[in-house]
Amino acid sequence: MITQPMEAQPHPGAQPQWTVSVLQARIQEISFPPGTTLDPALLHEISTYLLSEEPEGGIRALIHLSGLADVCPEAAPRLSKSKPSTRLALLGQSRVDRVLAGFMLADMCNSSIAKYVTSLDEALAYLTDGEPL
């Protein structure tokens, strides 16, 4: 896999490293193109966006793992600093997805904010359980 150095700036017309859409009221759906690495800069970009949408916390996001090729070791500790009202459903179906989610969840000191799921129904149940949206 060939990646750009972190200090390199994408040129105009470059493929975005992530996309977001509204899945349901207050639930964001985040996807990555194949081969993406979730590094500190990308994680910061995504979290800044999510916090701008829900400044009081209570972020609910469905994260599609299928486009990720790698997750940096700093991702889990940074996600662990999220507010306790945050919920992230890590959706995947492949062995790679399961391994990436396993690494992330194992390194999180606040594991109640994220869960690995294998279906959209399971993700929605987790994201909406216990709190009004």
Cβ(64)–Cβ(29) under 8 Å?
Answer: yes
At residue 20, the pLDDT reads 94
- The domain locations on the chain are 36-105
Q: How far apart are CA 26 and CA 33, in angstroms?
A: 23
At residue 14, the pLDDT reads 61
Q: Which residues of the chain have pLDDT under 70?
A: 1-14, 130-133
Contact residues for 89 (Cβ-Cβ < 8 A; gap 6+): 61, 62, 63, 114, 115, 117, 122, 123, 124, 126, 127
pTM: 0.83
Condensed to tens digits (0 to 9), the pLDDT of residues 35-45 reads 999 999 999 99
Condensed to tens digits (0 to 9), the pLDDT of residues 86-107 reads 999 999 999 999 999 998 998 8
Q: How far apart are CA 87 and CA 68, in angstroms?
A: 19
